[in-house]
Amino acid sequence: MTRTTYCQSALVLQRRVGREVLITRVDYGAIDSLAGTAFDAWSLLERPQTSEQVVASLAERYQVDAERIHQDVERLLEELVYRQWVTTLERA
Amino acid sequence: VGAGLIDQPLQQAMEIDPAAWPRVLAEITRQRLAGLAMHAVEEGLVALTDEQMDELLIAQRQQMLHAIDLERHLLMASRTLETAGVDAIVLKGTALAHGVYPDPSLRPFGDIDLLVRNSRWRDALEILAAAGFRRRYREPRPGFTARFGHAALLANDRDIEIDLHRTLVAGPFGEWIQADELFDQTTAFRVGGVDLLRLGNTAALAHACIHAALGYRPPLLLPVRDVAQLCLSPHIDWDLMRRWSCDWHLGVVFEHAFKAVAEVIGSPLHDASVNDALVENRGRRDVVALQAYTSQRRRYGGKATATILAIRGVRAKSRYVWALLFPDRDFLASRAKEGSASTYVRRWLIPIHWLKERWRLVLNVHCDRQPNPPASGDPR
């Protein structure tokens, strides 16, 4: 069985401003911004993480039920992968 | 400026008087210190009201948006140069932000600085011109910068600026520094998945000292922080610094920069013997050259006259003076103030004005030294 891990892409140019991160890359015309819980999730992805690990960390940080945020985290990770801010790795 | 640099006993966090805040924020913005100010707040060294914090965040956001945009252009420019076979060293901002500071968000910058070998400098100009970066200012005569200047300021249609260096500083020290040797003092760093070259920590420290001591009068705070940050970084080769102190006449520059650090941070970062060793071979010429940047003489042609003394060979000196006295017409026109004609006579009045002002400075110093000044009247 393989597990998908997520990690910040090495191609990303980023800067932190308080609890916000500004992100772009050389061939991307705009600068995106992640703030609040998205910023927390982004910070976790400095090292490879499974979606379950991200969910667990955020649930602990915000003292909420993991089930409640699971879908939101999955959607965020999908979006980050789609925008190529995050890369995925399949691990056995 | 020293936030996160040295362990300071945590006393009560500094609060900022709301009446003084607009001026403090304006200075933080002007000196590009928003990242360090944010760090000081996060470390509990400074306490801000919610409103002050919001304004500081806006200031830092602006600086970071610009920095990240510059980095995108840096990657494109360095790829263009690399494809054409021109080696480039990234100087100052980006290099220090990624290679020396613990977090690039602490070190903003306003332009891209690249150093290329003297022999490829003109090629680099053409390559970057083809990529949309044109020279912002004319030179007095064709080839002047390639021989006597330190860099050309290039800009594209979005006002992104690249300072294309052939050496580290304008003026006499630029004449003495053998910039091509710096290509043996590089190290790699990574930005956006791309490997770039920066100066190794020792050469970066030398450059930071040059920037802090000779760049602005009084020194800007961010370059002073750069010097402090590099002083505390690993792998500083003090023997090499001593060699450059002697061979490139930089001892007085290092001393001046370290003094500025001690004044700003509040304590010296290293033993006095380190400073003493750096200036043990300084000569009168070095001190005079330093004063051309750091004293009132800077305003009155100090750098130009000190450069004449530093240029080797009578022919080269003559070429320099000739280019400054008889620049081409386009240069004159570009320098003319709005509504005034550009003439050689106006140009030649500049050194006469310098001489007049410098003579006045000499008289002032002389009068200040009189043990008993006149009882009435202004001797100046």
Phi, psi of A87 (to 5 degrees): -110, 155
The encoded tokens of residue B113 equal 């600085």
Sole residue written with tokens 């940047």: B293
How wide is the angle at C-alpha B270 spanned by C-alphas B266 and B275, nearest 5°?
105
- pLDDT exceeds cutoff 80 at A74: yes
* pTM of the shown model: 0.89
Interchain contact, B192 vs A20, CB within 8 Å: no
Which of the 8 DSSP states describes residue B203? H
Q: Residue B7's pLDDT band (boundaries 50, 70, 90)? A: low
Which pLDDT tens digit goes with each residue over B182-223?
A: 999 999 999 999 999 999 999 999 999 999 999 888 888 999
Interface test with B, best of A13, A21, A25 (most B CBs within 10 A): A13
Q: Residue A1's pLDDT band (boundaries 50, 70, 90)? A: low
Identify any residues that bridge with A22 across adjacent strands, giving them in sequence order: A15, A33
Strands A32-35, B134-135: pairing kind:
unpaired
Which of the 8 DSSP states describes residue B120? G
Q: Does A16 contact B at CB distance below 8 Å?
A: yes
Least confident of B5-14, B21-30, B70-79, B231-240: B5-14
The encoded tokens of residue B198 equal 């920066």
The closest of B327, B277, B285 to B306, measured between CA atoms, is: B285
Residues of chain B contacting A31 with CB distance shorter than 8 Å: 65, 68-69
Q: Could you tell me which residue, B361 or A14, shows the higher pLDDT?
A: A14
* DSSP-H helix ranges across chain B: 21-30, 34-42, 50-83, 92-99, 121-130, 144-147, 172-176, 201-214, 221-231, 238-247, 251-265, 272-278, 284-294, 302-310, 314-325, 329-335, 344-369
Percent of residues, chain B, with pLDDT higher than 70: 94
- pLDDT exceeds cutoff 60 at B351: yes
Which pLDDT tens digit goes with each residue over A49-70?
A: 999 999 999 999 999 999 889 9
Which pLDDT tens digit goes with each residue over B34-68?
A: 999 999 998 888 899 999 999 999 999 999 999 99
Chain centre to alpha carbon of residue B268: 21
Distance between CA atoms of residues A6 and A24, nearest Å: 18
Strands B88-91, B112-116: pairing kind:
antiparallel
Q: Residue B363's pLDDT band (boundaries 50, 70, 90)? A: confident
CA distances from B16 to A32, B5, B8, B12, B60 (A): 32, 21, 19, 12, 18
Q: Does B69 contact A at CB distance below 8 Å?
A: yes
Distance between CA atoms of residues A41 and A54, nearest Å: 7
Quote the pLDDT of residue B8.
61
Q: Does B274 contact A at CB distance below 8 Å?
A: no
Q: Could you tell me which residue, B187 or B284, shows the higher pLDDT?
A: B187
Q: ipTM for the complex?
A: 0.90
Q: What is the mean pLDDT of chain A?
A: 92
Nearest to A17 among B64, B72, B75 (CB): B64
Q: Which residues contact B238 (CB under 8 A, 6 or more apart)?
A: B274, B277
Give the torsion sign (CA, A13, A24, A57, A52): negative
